[in-house]
């Protein structure tokens, strides 16, 4: 006999608190305190002008992170948006260029393209909720300079297909790894495929300094250009007042530098990355195994299960009406579930809610980059129905965060709640 749903007055399946989704943030402890206190005791707050007898925490983090993701260069910056802008500028993106971005990503991915004076072209995601390689290729024009595949909600993109298409068309690849730090695709770390790639260390991310980001690349020239964009004072150069060592080395950049305090926290957090991912993967696996046999539930496509960071469980239901009822019932069962797309609920991760992009709002009335004379293409048309596949997937998706602080008892109660609701609605 089916148990009475909590939404109808029954006993909730999950009776324990739901930890907030701050994976690394909730693990801050003595290691971070030690690193930060060293910075304060040394009075060394800024990497470029610090006491010469002490090593820079930011530089130490860059070196350790480069080893972890197996790239030649890492540049620490103050946010992932800054990392994206640095990467775009380093790759030569500017006036007259188009950059392809997925329809499901945080708005900053798209905003960074505008900041680099280029035009974003929005492409569909597939059932993995990452960039659809086929639609990426369909959206390529002679003006396409770069593509930004985003490893959304812990899953890797189909980097083999994306890289093949990009190389065929001579397009730069800039991975957005904000939500999937520590993940991989076919054994290769995310953030090591593209030409110049971006990471986030904002408080919701797997490891955090509250705010912060990083650029990763194997290309010496792109690294130099990213450094120039992140530090217009050129403090990174051996002699910042010297003439350029090669054409294009020095240009007016901006200030996206990371402080030593942020670098100190990240140095400690990085040591916890693999452990956090291992715990999230294990909780995710237990829950998936517990509901795998339920008819009517379809798991999100996973391009590489071994490379998933485990931060979320996402599955699809037959239609958006059932999905909405299912989510309401899960929440009554004590499970912190949510939908992804609801037209009436603003969410800056979905293109239809990027009103300032959809309306082509710009900081000044001239309307650049859309009206830039260097842009030779037809002005892009952004409409709410331009990516119907994306909206269909998102409207049928049930999303559950998987923080590492869950217990196995929590996992079992989540399974019980999902099975209970599925028995009633599917």
Q: pLDDT digit string (tens) for 318-362?
A: 999 999 999 999 999 999 999 999 877 789 999 999 999 999 999
CATH class of this structure's domain 30-272: alpha beta
- Can you list the positions of beta strands (E) in 103-193? 119-123, 144-147, 172-173, 184-185, 188-189
Please give the pLDDT value at position 52. Answer: 86
Which residues, listed in sequence order, are joined to residue 123 by a DSSP beta bridge? 102
Distance between CA atoms of 290 and 418, rounded to whole angstroms?
9
Ordered per-residue pLDDT tens for the chain, 426 residues: 578 999 999 999 999 999 999 999 999 999 999 999 999 999 999 999 888 899 999 999 999 999 999 999 999 999 999 999 999 999 999 999 999 999 999 999 999 999 999 999 999 999 999 999 999 999 999 999 999 999 999 999 999 999 999 999 999 999 999 999 999 999 999 999 999 999 999 999 999 999 999 999 999 999 999 999 999 999 999 999 999 999 889 999 999 999 999 999 999 999 999 999 999 999 999 999 999 999 999 999 999 999 999 999 999 999 999 999 999 999 999 999 999 998 777 899 999 999 999 999 999 999 999 999 999 999 899 999 999 999 999 999 999 999 999 999 999 999 999 999 999 999
Distances (CA, A) of 408 to 52, 275, 279, 418: 49, 16, 10, 15
Q: At CB < 8 A and 24+ separation, what contacts does 27-35 make?
A: 27/269, 27/272, 27/276, 27/404, 28/265, 28/269, 31/268, 31/271, 31/272, 32/264, 32/265, 32/268, 32/269, 34/268, 35/264, 35/265, 35/267, 35/268
Among residues 263, 236, 145, 240, the alpha carbon closest in space to that of 195 is found at 145
Per-residue tokens: 14 = 């999950």
What is residue 201's predicted lDDT score, i.e. its pLDDT?
A: 98
Longest Cα separation, the chain: 80
The confidence score (pLDDT) of residue 51 equals 86
| Assigned token pair, 383 | 């409409």
DSSP string, 222-260: HHHHHHHHHBTT-TTSSSTTSPPSSTTS-----B-BPPH
Identify the CA nearest to 102 among candidates 145, 152, 153. Answer: 152
Note the pLDDT of residue 1.
59
- With CA atoms as reference, report the closest residue to 279 among 184, 414, 154, 402: 402
Q: How many helices (H) and strands (E) does the chain have?
A: 13, 13
Cα gap 188→405, rounded to integer Å: 27
E strands along 7-77, which residues? 73-77
Residue 400 has, within 13 A of its CA and on its CB side, a CA count of 28
Cis peptide before 78 (omega within 30 of 0): no
d(CA 256, CA 260): 13
Tokens of 196: 């110049």
Taking the C-alpha atoms of residue 425 and residue 155, their distance in angstroms, rounded to an integer, is 28
The arrangement of strands across the sheet holding 197-200 comes to 73-77, 213-217, 197-200
**Burial category of 328 from C-beta neighbours within 10 Å (exposed 0-12, middle 13-18, buried 19 and up):** middle
Look at the alpha carbons of 45, 47, 51, 54 in this order and tell me if their dihedral is positive or negative.
positive
Distance in angstroms (rounded) separating the CA atoms of residues 220 and 195? 11
Distances (CA, A) of 50 to 37, 47, 175, 339: 15, 6, 32, 47
> What is the C-alpha to C-alpha distance for residues 245 and 344, in angstroms, rounded to an integer?
54
Provide the token pair at 66.
């480069």
Neighbours of 30 (CB within 10 A): 8
Structural tokens at position 100: 């392809």
Question: What are the extents of the domains in the chain?
Answer: 30-272
Where does residue 9 fall: left (phi above 0), alpha (psi -120 to 50 degrees), or beta otherwise? left
């Amino acid at each position: 006999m089916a148990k009475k749903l909590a939404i109808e007055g029954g006993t909730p399946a999950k009776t324990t608190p739901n930890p907030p989704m701050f994976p690394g943030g909730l693990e801050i402890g003595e290691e971070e305190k030690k690193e930060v206190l060293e910075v304060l005791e040394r009075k060394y707050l800024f990497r470029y002008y610090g006491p010469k007898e002490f090593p820079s925490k930011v530089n130490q983090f860059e070196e350790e992170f480069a080893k972890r993701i197996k790239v030649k260069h890492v540049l620490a910056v103050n946010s992932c948006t800054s990392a994206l802008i640095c990467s775009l500028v380093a790759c030569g993106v500017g006036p007259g260029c188009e950059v392809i971005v997925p329809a499901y990503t945080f708005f900053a991915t798209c905003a960074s393209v505008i900041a680099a004076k280029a035009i974003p072209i929005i492409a569909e995601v597939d059932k993995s909720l990452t960039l659809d390689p086929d639609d990426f290729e369909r959206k390529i024009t002679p003006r396409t300079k770069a593509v930004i595949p985003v490893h959304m909600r812990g899953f890797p993109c189909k980097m083999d297909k994306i890289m093949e298409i990009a190389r065929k068309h001579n397009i730069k690849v800039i991975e957005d790894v904000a939500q999937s730090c520590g993940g991989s695709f076919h054994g290769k770390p995310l953030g090591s495929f593209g030409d110049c790639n971006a990471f986030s260390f904002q408080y919701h991310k797997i490891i955090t300094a509250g705010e912060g980001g990083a650029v990763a690349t194997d290309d010496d020239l792109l690294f130099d250009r990213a450094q120039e964009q992140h530090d217009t004072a050129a403090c990174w150069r051996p002699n910042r007042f010297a003439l350029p060592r090669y054409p294009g080395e020095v240009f007016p950049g901006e200030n996206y530098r990371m402080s030593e305090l942020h670098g100190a926290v990240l140095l400690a957090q990085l040591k916890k990355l693999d452990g956090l991912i291992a715990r999230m993967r294990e909780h995710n696996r237990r829950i998936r195994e517990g509901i795998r046999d339920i008819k009517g539930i379809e798991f999100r496509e996973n391009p590489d299960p071994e490379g998933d960071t485990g931060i979320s469980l996402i599955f699809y239901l037959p239609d958006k009406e059932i999905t909405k009822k299912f989510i309401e019932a899960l929440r009554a069962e004590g499970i912190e579930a949510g939908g992804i797309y609801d037209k009436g609920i603003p969410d800056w991760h979905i293109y239809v809610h990027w009103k300032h992009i959809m309306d082509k709002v710009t900081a000044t009335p001239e309307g650049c980059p859309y009206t830039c004379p260097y842009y030779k293409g037809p002005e892009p048309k952004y409409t709410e129905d331009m990516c119907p596949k994306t909206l269909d997937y998102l409207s049928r998706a049930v999303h559950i965060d998987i923080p590492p602080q869950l217990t196995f008892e929590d996992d079992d109660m989540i399974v019980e709640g999902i099975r209970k609701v599925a028995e009633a609605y599917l």
